Amino acid sequence: MALQNAGFSLEKGSFCALLGPNGAGKSTLFSILTRLFVPDAGDVSIDGHSLAQEPGKALAKIGVVFQQPTLDLDLTVRRNLKYFAALHGIAGALADRRIDAALERVNMRERRHEKVRALNGGHRRRMEIARALIHEPQVLLLDEPTVGLDAATRTAITGHVHDLTAEQDLTVLWATHLVDEVRDHDRLVVLHKGIVLADGQAADIGAGKSLQSRFLEMTGGSE
């Protein structure tokens, strides 16, 4: 069993870090939240819509950045986003406005005519975040979005998504195994072996210790 009664709820406009070592069940949970997997039991509710009973309405509320990149490297940034907008039924002038706004939010508008292949890893991730925002979702899911990036780029992207949470009133679920991506005031859910071990503010879960030390204690030293 990959997940065992792993339930929690997020308030609108909040940033929540889902922290767990490799194999904790984070990606399985994201597959359930995006309906790539259908669970044997339980349910997911997104803005009042049951993912099991109203999958179309529920999925329309979310944007997703998966762990593995899913960009067409030989298309420009704009062409990639136009294609994605079309999948959501957004075309013409509306698509152009949404794309420009999404790229502006991630400071990528000046690169809209560049081919994705020419972008560095950090800009590709920013582009994927922009793509996930085109249909104006209320919930943004990011599954280990900084994997393979250097420390400075990781810090920049983490900070940028925190800013988006505040500016756009987005609800964000950020999955990671890296403690340094979690801020003291973040909502934190610690997942290990499919079980939620802790759920609260990161500073409170640290309980006076460094979050790294507390995390290692809870997970038995797993990395």
- Same domain, yes or no: 8 and 115: no
Question: What number is the average pLDDT over the span 185-214?
Answer: 91
DSSP state of 4: S
More confident residue, 159 or 206: 159
Residue 66 lies in a domain: no
CA dihedral of residues 151, 157, 159, 161 (deg, nearest 10): -150
CA-to-CA distance for 18 and 61, rounded, in angstroms? 19
* Residue 52 lies in domain: 1-61+137-223
The answer to whether residues 128 and 143 belong to one domain is no
When divided into structural domains, the chain yields a total of 2
The pLDDT value recorded for residue 222 is 52
Residue 223: is its pLDDT beyond 80?
Answer: no
Q: Could you tell me the pTM of the whole model?
A: 0.89
The answer to the question of residue 210 being in a domain is yes
* Whether residue 181 sits in one domain with residue 158: yes
Domain final residue pick, 90, 115, 136: 136
Residue 167, pLDDT score:
86
pLDDT in tens, 138-177: 999 999 998 888 888 889 899 989 998 888 889 999 999 9
- Integer Cα distance of 161 and 50 in angstroms: 26
Q: Where does the pLDDT of residue 30 fall: very low under 50, low under 70, confident under 90, or very high at 90 and above?
A: very high
Mean pLDDT (whole number) for 35-63:
91
Angle value at C-alpha 53, between 192 and 61, nearest 5 degrees: 70
Counting DSSP H helices and E strands in the chain, the numbers are 8, 8
CB atoms closer than 10 angstroms to residue 87: 9
- State the pLDDT at residue 65: 93
Residue 202: per-residue pLDDT: 93
Contacts of 77 (CB under 8 A, 6+ apart): 103, 108, 111, 112, 113, 114, 115, 116, 119, 127
Q: Percentage of the chain surpassing pLDDT 70?
A: 99
- Say yes or no: 206 and 163 in one domain: yes
Query: Does the structure show a pLDDT above 90 at 85?
Result: yes
pLDDT digits (tens, 9 = 90+) for 95-139: 999 999 999 888 888 999 999 999 998 899 999 999 999 999 999
Mean predicted lDDT score pLDDT of the chain: 91
CB atoms within 10 A of CB 214: 18
What confidence score (pLDDT) does residue 150 get?
Answer: 86
